[in-house]
Amino acid sequence: MYMRKMNQIEALKRIKKGESIADFEIVFNAEKVEALDALLLGENNILVPEDLIFYEDDEIDFSDNPDIADSDFESGRLVESLSVKLKTREDISEWIKTNNVNLDVLATKLIEDFYDNMQVVKVER
């Protein structure tokens, strides 16, 4: 069966009008879509490549998260989040589980302290 083709912008227009896109193949062009539109496309089984998603930081609504305030952006409280996979010995792993060690907090504190100490060493040289 031959499927007609359309780009992501045309698909968005059809979805927003309530029209079906089931008989279409989506062929992405270089035009970016806003993050909310990428979510709408995703709800319709169209996964938008990350490099085609446009994020407008000023338009992100943080009102549903009272822990985030404008001052957090100004002070640098909000920082980049990294993911790490740790490999440990079985006895250490068991100790972590038994003592309910929060690895995110522990690793963050250790890395920050290490970084701060390295900055002091650098200055003293």
Q: pLDDT of the chain along its 125 residues, tens only? A: 678 999 999 999 999 999 999 889 999 999 999 988 999 999 998 999 989 998 876 666 666 666 666 677 677 666 667 778 889 999 999 999 999 998 888 988 999 899 889 988 877 66
Judged on CB neighbours under 10 Å (0-12, 13-18, 19+), 8 is: buried
Question: Domain locations in the chain?
Answer: 4-59, 81-124
Structure confidence at residue 83 (pLDDT): 79
Within 10 A of 41 (CB to CB), how many other CB atoms are there? 20
**Closest by CA position to 48, among listed 31, 73, 72:** 31
Local structure of 58: helix, strand or coil: helix
Cα separation, 26 vs 4, whole angstroms:
9
pLDDT for position 48? 93
pLDDT at residue 81, rounded to an integer:
72
Residue whose pair of structure tokens reads 């319709």 in the numeric block: 44
Position 59 scores a pLDDT of 65
